[in-house]
């Protein structure tokens, strides 16, 4: 089968790999019908050291079940499924609490021993606890939105939940990538009164406004902090969604949170320490977040997607075939695309 392999920063190739197949009786194999490039894929694209073996890429997919192991009970051949970015057994203590990304038998697609989803097919360990079956008759126009439930929409929602977004609150979203834009959707859906997007790309800002952003802050650093305070009566935001992952974004998130506020961080951290810990402490700010347990959120978000109340699939502004994936990485890295969808 053809699949995407990254060998070093900027070196992405489409290669022929052994076909995905059943290894354990709890496995399934899906034929990928839609996949995509994630903003977090750009971190290795910019900084990965040379690897002779390479790394299989991609952790978001919608697909059709092609084969199942003898112990799989919840999906069968021909089922249309969402593949969350992490696999999980569904039965460990953490899965039972809804924290699927902490599963003791889990892992993350597109890294380590698990295959990547930017491919024609992928093996799914712990299929019963990982895959989410959806209705067999789904309009193709809905597939992009369903694909976002495998990561970015669930991740934006996770940031909002952790930051305690609710009716009447002022919310700030740091980052105008796909996760930040989905964070705007989530904040609007949860009843936020004011939603401030921190970003400076015209196309993304326009989409954020359509999703429900009430205000835009294009400044950076201290100027951005001052502008957010102006918009929030000098207090800062009740809830801040940090959707980037670098030091500057996290420091800004802490600085713009009001005393007693919360920061939901879902940008993959690129540094070992959290900046501005002193101000966070003095302002009694709650900081939480991590890899979003997106499987736990699908039941809640799916009806809104199917009924058109939210349209997170609009974050995809490029659609490509598998052979064009290397160029898709370049376009996202150069900010020429918000998020690239792949049709293998």
Cβ-in-10-Å burial (0-12, 13-18, 19+) of 105 comes to middle
Is residue 111 pLDDT above 80, yes or no? Answer: no
Is residue 306 pLDDT above 90, yes or no? Answer: yes
Is residue 324 pLDDT above 90, yes or no? Answer: yes
| Angle of CA points 139, 296, 196, to nearest 5° | 80
Give residue 193's pLDDT band: very low, low, confident or very high (50, 70, 90). Answer: very high
Rounded percentage of the chain residues whose pLDDT exceeds 70: 100
Residue tagged 């002193």 (tokens)? 278
The pLDDT of residue 136: 78
Is residue 332 pLDDT above 90, yes or no? Answer: yes
Mean pLDDT across 131-157: 95
Mean pLDDT across 5-18: 97
Residue tagged 């978001």 (tokens)? 60
Task: Report d(CA 300, CA 312) in Å as an integer.
Answer: 14
Give residue 330's pLDDT band: very low, low, confident or very high (50, 70, 90). Answer: very high
The pLDDT of residue 270: 84
The pLDDT of residue 234: 97
Task: Report d(CA 210, CA 117) in Å as an integer.
Answer: 30
The answer to whether residues 156 and 208 touch, using CB atoms and an 8 Å cutoff, is: no
Give residue 207's pLDDT band: very low, low, confident or very high (50, 70, 90). Answer: very high
Q: pLDDT tens across 164-175, in order?
A: 999 999 999 999
Q: pLDDT tens across 60-100, in order?
A: 999 999 999 999 999 999 999 999 999 999 999 999 999 99
Is residue 43 pLDDT above 90, yes or no? Answer: yes
Give residue 239's pLDDT band: very low, low, confident or very high (50, 70, 90). Answer: very high
Mean pLDDT across 125-142: 93
**Mean pLDDT over the full length of the chain:** 96
Task: Report d(CA 37, CA 337) in Å as an integer.
Answer: 10
Give residue 323's pLDDT band: very low, low, confident or very high (50, 70, 90). Answer: very high
Phi, psi of 154 (to 5 degrees): -65, -35
Mean pLDDT across 172-190: 98
Rounded percentage of the chain residues whose pLDDT exceeds 90: 95
Is residue 6 pLDDT above 80, yes or no? Answer: yes
Mean pLDDT across 99-118: 93
The pLDDT of residue 156: 98
pTM, 2 dp:
0.96
């Amino acid at each position: 089968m053809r699949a995407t392999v990254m060998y070093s920063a900027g070196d992405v190739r489409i290669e022929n790999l052994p076909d995905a197949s059943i290894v354990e009786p709890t496995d399934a194999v899906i034929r990928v019908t839609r996949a995509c490039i994630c903003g977090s894929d750009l971190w290795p694209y910019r900084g990965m050291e040379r690897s002779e073996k390479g790394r299989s890429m991609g952790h978001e997919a919608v697909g059709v079940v092609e084969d199942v192991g003898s112990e799989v009970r919840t999906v069968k051949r021909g089922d249309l499924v969402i593949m969350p970015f992490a696999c999980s057994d569904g039965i460990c203590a953490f899965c039972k609490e809804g924290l699927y990304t902490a599963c003791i038998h889990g892992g993350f697609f597109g890294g380590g021993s698990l295959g990547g989803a930017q491919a024609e097919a992928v093996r799914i360990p712990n299929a019963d606890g990982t895959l989410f079956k959806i209705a067999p008759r789904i309009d193709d126009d809905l597939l992009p939105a369903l694909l976002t439930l495998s990561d970015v929409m669930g991740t934006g929602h996770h940031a909002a939940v952790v930051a305690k977004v609710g009716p009447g609150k002022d919310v700030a979203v740091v980052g105008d990538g796909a996760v930040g834009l989905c964070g705007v959707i989530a904040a609007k859906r949860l009843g936020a009164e004011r939603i401030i997007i921190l970003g400076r790309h015209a196309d993304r800002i326009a989409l954020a406004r359509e999703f429900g952003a009430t205000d835009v802050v294009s400044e950076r650093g201290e100027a951005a902090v001052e502008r957010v305070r102006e918009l929030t009566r000098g207090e800062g935001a009740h809830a801040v969604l940090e959707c980037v992952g670098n030091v500057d974004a996290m420091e800004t998130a802490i600085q713009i949170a009001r005393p007693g506020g919360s920061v939901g961080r879902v940008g993959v951290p690129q540094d070992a320490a959290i900046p501005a810990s002193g101000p966070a402490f003095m302002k009694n700010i709650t900081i939480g977040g991590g890899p979003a347990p997106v499987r736990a959120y699908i039941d809640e978000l799916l009806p809104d997607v199917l009924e058109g109340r939210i349209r997170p699939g609009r974050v995809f502004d490029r659609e490509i075939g598998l052979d064009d994936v290397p160029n898709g990485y370049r376009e996202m890295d150069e900010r020429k695309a918000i998020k690239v969808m792949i049709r293998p």
